[in-house]
Amino acid sequence: MDDVTTTQVAFPMPRTCPLDPPSGYAELAADSPITRVTLPTGKSAWLIMGHTYLREILMDPRVSVNRIDPGYPHLVSLTPEALAMMSKVNDSLVGLDPPQHTVHRRMLMNEFTVNRFRALRPRIEEIVNGCIDAMLAGDRPVDLVAALSLPVPSLVISELLGVRAEDHELFQQCTLTAFNRKALLEDRIGAGVNLLMYCDKLVTEKEEQPDDDMLGRLVVKYREAGLYDHSHLVGLAMLLLMAGHETTANMISLGTLALLEHPDQLALLKTDPSVTPKAVEELLRYLSIVDISGGSRVALEDIEIGGVTIRRGEGLIALLSGANRDPSLFDQPDVMNLERGARQHVAFGYGIHQCIGQNLARLELEVVFGTLFRRIPELRLAVPAQELPLKDDASIYGVLEMPVTW
């Protein structure tokens, strides 16, 4: 009998170009869109490619996002400490299934509406301009990651939540370490614990004095609903902080890199700034930075899909880039075309867990790309692109450092 593990593809494959999904994925999608893969933990999971199957499986009520479930397709083996910390965030929103998920998502929904963020645009412009002022005033080259990509989302989400300005630095350091899969596991856990302790303190302060910021309003709202739980709100605060930092930061760095590497496309953006919203959608699609975790699930029952049976308890990964580069959904999917105007991508996931902060992310990216290339039109990389240190094995793709000059 064949040893099953020798015939299974190892997943994830490394990115060979920072802007593209691993080249092996397209081949896999064409040959066997639903296939068993071996994860770095040695466990198996189903890899699901293509936009039709992705939508089907992520809408299926028989899949769970519970990260504590033994079948959940984690990419690293979790220590008991890491698991304990994960369960904190897990229980807040991202690891909940209906009906609990519905209750907590609804608590947050009016904080994340399109209109609320439209009103926030002037403040975000101020924050972005402040970062660019500092870049222009300092020495060159500048590390774009440290000067712009990280501070912008950090300042924005911290202000939204109600974090004190003097604590922003602490948050950046903690989230950066906690999310860096190249950092030592002990350091990552340590950073996570520090962040959790700070969130605990912050929530306690909001309990005493619920200010008119997101956390303050959530304290009031949960109390009114009779659902207030300190520990839950700490987990939620931590989730919102982390989710708002790392993802947007990496989109800023990689998006800037993608634009610099496609001068004809960048020229479009510079000549006609009204292209910016479309450009943001295309960069989200093209880069698919949250490729794996956004579509990771575990089956709660046997599920028939695309001619295979996913058994109860088995992990599955609906690959976001698999849908975002699906030729049946996008004409010439591997071409970056800022005028494509295609918002049917799934860069924010799909189904009931689709990113709640997506309209904040869109706004931040629009302001950043619009402002950066207007104020520093000669912006260019200070090192060859292939020398950039990539976060190519990270749960969220990005670059660790990106020296730029002008």
Partner 1 sequence: MRLSADRERCVGAGQCVLTEDTVFGQDETDGRVRLRTETPDAELAENLRFAVTICPAQALELTED
Q: Given the structure tokens 């959530």, which residue do they identify?
A: 218
Q: Which of 30, 109, 146, 225 binds partner 1 (CB under 8 A)?
A: 109
CA distances from 194 to 140, 175, 215 (A): 33, 10, 19
Rounded to a whole number of angstroms, the minimum distance from the CB of residue 188 to partner 1 is 30
Name which of residues 45 to 64 contact partner 1 (CB under 8 A): 59
Q: Is 358 in the site for partner 1 (CB under 8 A)?
A: yes
Q: Report the candidate in 230, 188, 189 with the shortest Cα–Cα distance to residue 207.
A: 230
Q: Is 11 in the site for partner 1 (CB under 8 A)?
A: no
Q: Which of 20, 91, 111, 326 binds partner 1 (CB under 8 A)?
A: 111
Rounded to a whole number of angstroms, the minimum distance from the CB of residue 6 to partner 1 is 38
Rounded to a whole number of angstroms, the minimum distance from the CB of residue 350 to partner 1 is 5
Q: Are 252 and 365 in contact (CB under 8 A)?
A: yes
Q: Given the structure tokens 């994340």, which residue do they identify?
A: 112
Q: Is 309 in the site for partner 1 (CB under 8 A)?
A: no
- The encoded tokens of residue 168 equal 């922003």
Q: Which of 21, 333, 351, 370 binds partner 1 (CB under 8 A)?
A: 351
DSSP secondary structure letters along 103-127: HHHHHHHTTS-HHHHHHHHHHHHHH
Beta bridge partners of 298: 64, 315
Q: Is 350 in the site for partner 1 (CB under 8 A)?
A: yes
Q: Applying CB under 8 A, which part among 34-42, 111-119, 184-192, 317-325 lies near partner 1?
A: 111-119
Nearer to partner 1 by Cβ, of 111 and 364: the residue is: 111
Q: Applying CB under 8 A, which part among 204-212, 233-241, 314-322, 343-351 lies near partner 1?
A: 343-351
Q: Applying CB under 8 A, which part among 16-24, 137-145, 169-177, 345-353 lies near partner 1?
A: 345-353
Alpha helix (H) ranges present in 110-229? 114-137, 144, 151-161, 168-179, 185-208, 214-224
CA-angle at 398, arms to 262 and 332, nearest 5°: 40
Judged by the rule CB under 8 A, the positions of this chain that interact with partner 1 are 59, 105-106, 108-115, 343-344, 348-352, 354-356, 358-359, 362
